Structure 1
């Protein structure tokens, strides 16, 4: 009888351990005490393992409050743009840099995903609820395929959402001050297979 009890306890322990072996990926959902940005991003997946050719994640993003417009009448937020990149955006093309862009969709060091108008982004569809000491709740999420040109063998990449600001004085576009980036890092399991960290 004692042997049967020990074996039963061992089986239950193994079963419970296997149930808690979490293979899911979640980052960026935690409560933020005093958010520094109006925009935020979280990432999730049902698995941590992917082949490069089928690498896709669920991106949750939005705003705690409405993205504000700029007080300078020459600056107009054109849209909120989404990018993948190998590294964090540099300040070369930010407001005040005197290095505006004619085309913000074709950048040498970033992959343009899409853009959302400011009017749409400031609706409840992109609202993020940040209740005290609870996980953030995102009204918007979407599955996005990560291109191999960005993810292959770099061990990390960035998902960035940022406001694109049109400057009426020089008729050029700049990266604004309303944005957020999230780093996604991984390790190689095999030559064409990865595991999210």
Structure 2
């Protein structure tokens, strides 16, 4: 399976609490809900398309608990997000959860990186990660992400949990798709291509900069 990481981020990379004030107030974060004013019909269409590609979900505990508190109650068969989340396998990474009542859930407590590598080796479509800040940091450090789907919102918060924080490893990416909502949100899809390459600009005798 292809491991995809879907994240809502501000221009300065903050991914904390996009959906509401109480979603993740840890660290004194008081700007939760910053995504909501940008929601539009186009957002719903793209979200539905992305969830339809999922064969399984890999989630951190916090995101799992938010999803589990809402989506099992949505029984509309035409809701693409509910159909995917309720009907497909879910793996939650947590040392604190002792049981999971949401049908189709497996808890991963130990050997997290090895277990995720094992999941990726299974046949199928997307192994989708949504949000899940702590889990995302582990995936980034160990180069386990095959595709980033970054929803970039036109605002700056200046504080909060960031997608690429301390411990992120140098990585080159190629952009494979970009779509836009009517409210100015850019949905970029990137795939890692390996280590970055580097260069320098040399000043010629005429005073212009040329790459070398």
TM-score by length of 1: 0.22
Higher strand share: 1
Higher helix share: 2
TM-score (norm 2): 0.21
